[in-house]
């Protein structure tokens, strides 16, 4: 196990090197000269040259690449071009609100989706199963913008159950008061596709021979579903969860924007609008690294759930 983890961590090095090179090419070679964007419509060659010098983009490409590699290795991406705030401080202050929404949302949607998927899989082919699938299909066809607008209008504005927008300075206040409605909206949006997906995983296992053997031995249906079916279906479920995990680093773009939550998602949108390359490059590197670590965590969870899995 230890040797496998060391090998996987070592494999991250060349992958990250490729990611760094790709990001550098996209932003520094293909992305154009940011000095013209920051200088505005009314500019002169002297001001543009001064901006290029301040940003360090007047150096040769190989020097800029070395600077970028150093930034990645030290996790110091300098200052934002728009606000002059250190990128490290941006992550330190914006990441907690995103995690405060993303973590409860992922936990709730996983538990609820698996529970409902188990129920409809157990009642497969029945009216309840068909009604649940039709409901999920209809729910998936509705845009998240519709959910945000409707929930904000009725639950926040008309009924006054939640604040429409805002964010406080205390953890429990934010979690209970300000994060509740965003988490509820995210839950409604994500439940439908996850229920359909997990139901498919469970049905694939229900039709296996070992399930019929377990029933033939007289095991109760609840034990068959929870112990045998769910455990074997957990492999693709873990894969789906690990795919979503790096998204916690980015946050929920639209929800953070509509609810004025000072999270990473809203910060990324603002950085794109301002062409704030240091922030965009930093979040790209962090998401790439988080994706690789999530893949490693998924492999380890496979082994924990099913000892038959061999890590090579």
- Tens digits of residue pLDDT in 208-225: 888 888 888 888 877 888
* 81-85, 187-191, 202-206: least confident range: 81-85
58: pLDDT confidence band, cut at 50, 70 and 90?
A: confident
Q: Does one domain contain both 257 and 184?
A: yes
Question: Does residue 12 lie within any of the structural domains?
Answer: yes
Q: Does one domain contain both 157 and 269?
A: yes
Q: Does one domain contain both 160 and 211?
A: yes
Domain span holding position 61: 2-74
Of 40, 74, 108, the domain-final residue: 74
User: Which of 312, 122, 118, 125 lies closest to 233, judged by CA?
Assistant: 118
User: Which of 242, 251, 241, 245 lies closest to 91, judged by CA?
Assistant: 251
Task: Indicate if the pLDDT at residue 31 is higher than 80.
Answer: no
Q: Does one domain contain both 145 and 247?
A: yes
Of 48, 74, 100, the domain-final residue: 74
Q: Which two tokens stand for residue 31?
A: 């992305």
Q: Which two tokens stand for residue 272?
A: 């794109």
Q: Does one domain contain both 95 and 38?
A: no
Question: Does residue 288 lie within any of the structural domains?
Answer: no
Indicate the number of domains in the chain.
2
139: pLDDT confidence band, cut at 50, 70 and 90?
A: very high
Phi first, then psi: what are they for 251, rounded to 5°?
Answer: 85, -175
Q: Does one domain contain both 62 and 143?
A: no
Q: Does one domain contain both 60 and 111?
A: no
Question: Does residue 312 lie within any of the structural domains?
Answer: no
User: Which of 185, 160, 179, 171 lies closest to 261, judged by CA?
Assistant: 179
Task: State residue 285's pLDDT score.
Answer: 93
Average pLDDT of the chain, as a whole number = 86
Whether the CB-CB separation of 65 and 59 falls below 8 Å is answered with no
Task: Indicate if the pLDDT at residue 190 is higher than 70.
Answer: yes
Question: Does residue 221 lie within any of the structural domains?
Answer: yes
Question: Does residue 233 lie within any of the structural domains?
Answer: yes
Whether the CB-CB separation of 68 and 20 falls below 8 Å is answered with yes
Q: Does one domain contain both 31 and 63?
A: yes
Task: State residue 272's pLDDT score.
Answer: 84
Question: Does residue 310 lie within any of the structural domains?
Answer: no
Rounded to an integer, the average pLDDT of 148-154 is 92
Q: Which two tokens stand for residue 65?
A: 């690449």
Percent of the chain, pLDDT > 70? 92
15: pLDDT confidence band, cut at 50, 70 and 90?
A: very high
Question: Does residue 292 lie within any of the structural domains?
Answer: no
Supply angle C-alpha 144, 291, 190, rounded to 5.
20
Q: Does one domain contain both 244 and 100?
A: yes
Rounded to an integer, the average pLDDT of 179-192 is 93
Give the N- to C-terminal CA distance of the chain in Å, as an integer: 9
Whether the CB-CB separation of 255 and 101 falls below 8 Å is answered with yes
Task: State residue 37's pLDDT score.
Answer: 65
CA dihedral 296, 202, 208, 123 (to 10 degrees): 170
Residue 54 contacts by C-beta under 8 Å, 6 or more apart in sequence? none
Task: State residue 309's pLDDT score.
Answer: 73
Integer angstrom CA distances of residue 176 from 63, 160, 217 = 48, 15, 48
Q: Does one domain contain both 40 and 113?
A: no
How many angstroms separate the CA atoms of 293 and 304, rounded?
17
112: pLDDT confidence band, cut at 50, 70 and 90?
A: very high
Q: Does one domain contain both 145 and 203?
A: yes
User: Which of 304, 259, 277, 279 lies closest to 97, judged by CA?
Assistant: 259
Percent of the chain, pLDDT > 90? 39
The pTM (predicted TM-score) of the whole model is 0.86
Question: Does residue 150 lie within any of the structural domains?
Answer: yes
* 6-20, 47-61, 269-283: least confident range: 47-61
User: Which of 15, 233, 225, 246 lies closest to 120, judged by CA?
Assistant: 225
CATH number of residue 151's parent domain: 1.10.3720.10
Task: State residue 40's pLDDT score.
Answer: 62
Residue 40 contacts by C-beta under 8 Å, 6 or more apart in sequence? none
Of 20, 40, 74, the domain-final residue: 74
Q: How many residues does the chain have?
A: 312
Burial of 310 (0-12, 13-18, 19+ CB in 10 A): exposed
Q: Does one domain contain both 61 and 103?
A: no
Rounded to an integer, the average pLDDT of 125-153 is 92
Task: State residue 224's pLDDT score.
Answer: 84
Task: Indicate if the pLDDT at residue 105 is higher than 90.
Answer: yes
User: Which of 256, 255, 277 lies closest to 94, judged by CA?
Assistant: 256
Task: State residue 47's pLDDT score.
Answer: 67
For 266-308, the pLDDT digits (tens) are 898 888 888 788 898 899 999 999 999 999 999 888 888 877 7
């Amino acid at each position: 196990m230890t040797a496998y983890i060391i090998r996987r961590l070592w494999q991250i090095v060349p992958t990250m090197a490729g990611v760094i090179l790709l990001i550098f090419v996209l932003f520094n070679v293909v992305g154009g000269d940011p000095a013209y964007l920051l200088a505005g419509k009314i500019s002169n060659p002297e001001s543009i040259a001064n901006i290029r010098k301040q940003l360090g983009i007047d150096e040769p490409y190989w020097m800029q690449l070395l600077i970028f590699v150093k930034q990645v290795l030290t996790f110091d991406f300098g200052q934002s071009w728009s606000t002059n705030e250190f990128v490290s401080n941006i992550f330190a202050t914006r990441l907690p609100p995103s995690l405060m929404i993303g973590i409860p949302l992922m936990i709730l949607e996983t538990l609820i989706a698996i529970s409902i998927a188990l129920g409809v899989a157990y009642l497969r082919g029945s009216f309840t199963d068909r009604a649940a699938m039709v409901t999920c299909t209809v729910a998936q066809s509705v845009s998240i913008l519709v959910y945000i607008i409707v929930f904000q209008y009725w639950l926040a504005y008309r009924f006054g159950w939640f604040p429409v927008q805002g964010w406080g300075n205390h953890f429990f206040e934010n979690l209970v008061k300000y994060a509740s409605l965003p988490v509820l909206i995210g839950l409604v949006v994500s439940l439908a596709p996850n229920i359909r997906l997990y139901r498919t995983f469970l049905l694939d296992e229900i039709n296996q021979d070992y399930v019929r053997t377990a029933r033939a031995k007289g095991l109760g249906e609840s034990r068959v579903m929870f112990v045998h079916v769910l455990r074997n279906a957990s492999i693709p479920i873990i894969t789906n969860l690990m795919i979503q995990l790096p998204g916690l680093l980015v946050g929920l773009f639209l929800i953070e924007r509509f609810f004025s939550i000072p999270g990473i998602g809203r910060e990324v949108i603002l950085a794109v609008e301002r062409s704030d390359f240091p922030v965009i490059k930093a979040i790209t590197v962090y998401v790439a690294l988080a994706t690789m670590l999530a893949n490693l965590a998924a492999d380890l969870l496979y082994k924990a759930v099913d000892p038959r899995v061999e890590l090579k």
